[in-house]
Chain A
Amino acid sequence: MRSRTLVFLAALVALGGIAASAQAQSLTVLLPSEFANLDPVEILSGDQTMVMYHVYCRLYTFNDDMEPTPDLIAHESLSADQRTWTLKLKRGARFHDGTAVNAEAVKYTIERMRRKGGSQRVLFQAISEIRTEGEDTLILTTQKPFPSLRNSLAHPNAGLVSARADAALGDRYGVQPVSCGPYAFKEWTRGTRIVVVRNDAYHGARPTYDQIGFQFVPEVTTRLFMMQRGQADIALRLGPAEARQLEGAKGVRLLRIEGRNIFYQLNLALAPTSDPRVRQAINHAVDKTAIIQRVLQGAGAPARSVIESMLWGHTAVGTWAYDPEKARQLLREANAVGARVVLLSPENRYLLDSQVSQAVAGYLKAAGLTVDLRVIGDWAGYIDAIKKKDFNLYMLGWGGSTGDPDQVLQSIFHSRRAGALWNLGAYVNKDVDALIDAGASTFDETRRRRIYADVQKRIFDEAPWLFMYRVTSFTAVGDKVKEIHTLQGPEFHYVFPLAR
């Protein structure tokens, strides 16, 4: 009788163990927004990226410092003229549909991106020719020497596409993607969740979980409540108020993430911000530290450059000190006391954005400007408004999704883009252009760093932005999550180990 009881108890314990381990094998991740599809040719959001990181594999991937490291690459070499890359692929990797991940598949992915004309084709813009040699060798030629090619190939939107699945699925590919990441797409219940399952044939380290459910929970308070109740394992993008609620909570740890660099682009083509003294005055007029403390509730740190610390090549140039007296004096010198400035602000795009803009408007008024603050609630309408270029300041945030400064400098400061998105403030400086071009094609890291330090200093002194802050966002992580990697800046998260 006693032995029967013991067997029964042992069975119970074993069953309990199995149940516990079965539970431990699946994760629930709360994402703030649902996106329309997971096709890498489309524009990406941080939430989309988290799913894409798990489903897609790429030639390179980012390490925790956001430096590109080989994933599917066995060997790389660069020609003497630094324009031709010979990339030898690892053997044996397979797409989730069983087809081989080979040089031809990479070529197909790049050509597909170009054919479809998606917003992310800019990633492969530098590549002028793609050739394959045998099964495993890919030869990429760039128009000019292009040192950040690895960064582009590590970007989430450089995910490899199975040609067979793409042909079979057509327009449905975006809603049931097939790639070669550590997890394979299983299902997408619209409005509810995406489920991915472990890819047992993954070429890298074995993924930890059997299954991950990415659940869409738009309301931040609901994400907080679900974490408190243990109904989720990871909750993305919590605000400072929710983070405070979770501080010290049992079974939950908080990740503090340095997110986007938030700033106001100033219009250099429109008075009064065309006058450098007015731009300096605006930078001196706003107390960023007070805004961070009172409006953002501490969730930020003053910006120090146009390239922030999450990007390679960052230099902390400095901060514009809060000096209202100096601001007033500069405005007097520029004969701009009482001048009208138009300030455009989005709402609910960045953390407490419209509230910050109201505070900024208050500071500018106190310095002696007449402020016309226009808050535009939806992003499409906001883009339309800033494109009219009748602003003096508009708010923008930049995360730097390739981990390389070239992307942000080309987009915002090169005169080639003056007057177009995102150099709508029409910043033009031929010396800075030359430095950006030199940085884009310099392989020597020390020299490249020097170039970018110079660029950052020059831009900072010209005050083409009202420099604000690097915003902090919070991710809540439950006990069950053994491993989580986060890339600061663009806020990419993934829960699998890198290929070794």
Chain B
Amino acid sequence: MLTYLLRRLARLAPTLLLISAVVFILLRLVPGDPATVLAGQDASPEIVAGIRARLGLDQPVLVQYAVYLKNVLRGDLGQSIRSKQPVLEELAGRLPATLLLGFTSIALAFVLGLALGMTAAVRAGRWPDVALLVFALLGVSAPSFWLGLLLVLLFAVQLGLLPVAGSDSWAHLVLPVATLMPNSLAVFARLSRSTLLEVLGEDFIRTAVAKGARRTQVLWRHAMRNALIPPVTVAGLEFGRLFGGVIAVETIFAWPGAGKALVDAIATRDYPMVQGIVLALALLFALLNLAVDLLNGVIDPRARHA
């Protein structure tokens, strides 16, 4: 197990290196440069050139990348061009809010999705199953910027039950999570339904039933354990998709996360910030998928030897 873990961790390094290189080069290919944004509208070309030199942007891209890489290896992600604060510090101020939003949404989506999927599977073809299919369709298709505003209008403005936006209390978390979650919830529900249906048709289930095992025992001990593997695997990938949706949700609810910070950094060509946020999210995504693989090993011993 330990060797497996170490091997997987070692494989992370080239992935992150590749991501950092792609982001670094892509950013510099996009038109617009931070020196012009910083210099403002009355700047002469000399002033802009001076800022470019100060930021090291006058060097060849490869030299810039080498310097960046050397600093990253020493744990220094650089300084935000706009705020002049260390990127690591900016990340520390932003990432926790995104993680809280993301983890809460995915955890709730997973648990609720599984419960809904199970209910639908054991009542396949009857009304709870049809209701789930309709709900899943809506959940997958509802865009978060639309759903978010609708939820605010109903629960915050009309009913006055929850705050409109902000991040000061747990109550502020409810609507952003309710906006971000349905998409993943629908995915988990549909996936667990179809997997469970498939598992319930397997020979070992028929054997268990024939042996006279109780229905709940068959469902929980035999069927669920096998039906869990695909949703757990997908959970890792869902995180990636979820971070895409986080930007709209953070904007609507004025949630102080990394998604909004990333958009602002791209708009102002704050290269170190963009690189820092993307690298942190990539690392997180890779670690989560590693955790998912390890979890699969626990659920299904065959996976450990695969």
Contact = CB atoms under 8 A, between A and B. Distances in A.
Given A36-B80, A215-B254, A222-B254, A411 B42 contact: yes
A119 interface: yes
A117 B52 CA distance: 12
A215 B254 CA distance: 9
B42 A36 contact: no
B5 interface: no
B56 interface: no
A175 B84 CA distance: 9
A229 B166 CA distance: 13
B33 to A, nearest CB: 7
A218 B163 contact: no
A118 B30 CA distance: 24
Interface stretch (A271-279, A290-298, A378-386, A434-442): A378-386
B264 A34 contact: yes
A218 B260 contact: yes
A384 B32 contact: yes
A142 to B, nearest CB: 18
Nearest to B30: A381
Contacts of B255: 191
Contact of A37 (B45, B83, B269): B83
A382 B30 CA distance: 12
A226 B90 CA distance: 27
A383 B43 contact: no
Given A119-B38, A219-B252, A381-B30, A231 B164 contact: yes
Interface string A201-216: 0000000000000011
B261 interface: yes
Point out which of A222, A383, A422 has the most chain B C-beta atoms below 10 A from its C-beta: A222
Interface stretch (B119-127, B149-157, B284-292): B149-157
A421 B47 CA distance: 13
A215 B42 contact: no
B58 to A, nearest CB: 15
Contacts of B38: 42-43, 119
A122 B39 CA distance: 11
Interface residues of A, number: 45
Contacts of A33: 264
A131 interface: no
A190 B160 CA distance: 27
Contacts of B163: 229, 231
Interface string A1-38: 00000000000000000000000000000000111110
A152 B134 CA distance: 63
A189 B260 contact: no
Interface in B40-92: 40-45, 47, 50-51, 79-80, 82-85, 90
B166 to A, nearest CB: 7
A171 B81 CA distance: 11
B165 A190 contact: no
A37 B50 CA distance: 20
Nearest to A422: B41
B244 interface: no
Contacts of B153: 225
Contacts of B266: 378
A457 to B, nearest CB: 26
Contacts, number: 135
A222 B268 contact: no
B190 interface: no
B109 to A, nearest CB: 23
A421 B39 CA distance: 11
B17 to A, nearest CB: 27
Interface in A265-316: none
Interface in A369-387: 378-385, 387
Interface string B1-36: 000000000000000000000000000001111101
A191 B41 contact: no
Given A215-B166, A217-B254, A231-B163, A222 B97 contact: no
Given A37-B84, A117-B50, A226-B165, A221 B149 contact: yes
Nearest to A377: B267
A484 interface: no
B167 interface: yes
Given A36-B80, A117-B47, A191-B257, A379 B156 contact: no
Interface in B144-176: 149, 152-153, 156-157, 160, 163-167
Contacts of B44: 420
Nearest to B90: A190
Interface in A349-401: 378-385, 387
Nearest to A225: B164
Contact of A226 (B83, B164, B268): B164
A191 B94 contact: yes
A380 B269 contact: yes
A110 B44 CA distance: 19
A218 to B, nearest CB: 5
B47 A228 contact: no
A171 B80 CA distance: 11
B253 interface: yes
B47 to A, nearest CB: 6
Contact of B93 (A190, A215, A383): A190
Contact of B253 (A222, A385, A420, A422): A222
A192 interface: yes
B167 A192 contact: yes
Given A225-B164, A381-B32, A218 B251 contact: yes
B264 to A, nearest CB: 7
A257 to B, nearest CB: 21
Given A171-B84, A231-B163, A411-B41, A380 B157 contact: no
A384 B33 contact: yes
A262 to B, nearest CB: 16
Most buried by B among A33, A36, A172: A36
Contacts of A420: 44-45
A191 to B, nearest CB: 3
B126 to A, nearest CB: 40
Interface in B102-152: 149, 152
B41 A421 contact: yes
Given A222-B165, A380-B33, A383-B37, A229 B85 contact: no
B251 A384 contact: no
B256 interface: yes
8 contacts: A43-B40, A174-B84, A191-B261, A192-B256, A222-B254, A381-B30, A384-B32, A421-B42
Interface of A: 33-37, 42-43, 117-120, 122, 171-172, 174-175, 189-192, 215-219, 221-222, 225-226, 228-229, 231, 378-385, 387, 411, 420-422
Given A171-B84, A190-B93, A231-B165, 7 more contacts: A119-B39, A119-B42, A175-B83, A218-B260, A222-B254, A228-B157, A229-B156
Q: Nearest 9 pairs between A and B by C-beta? A: A191-B256, A119-B40, A380-B32, A36-B82, A190-B93, A36-B83, A43-B40, A384-B31, A217-B254
Interface of B: 30-34, 36-45, 47, 50-51, 79-80, 82-85, 90, 93-94, 97, 149, 152-153, 156-157, 160, 163-167, 251-257, 260-261, 264, 266-270
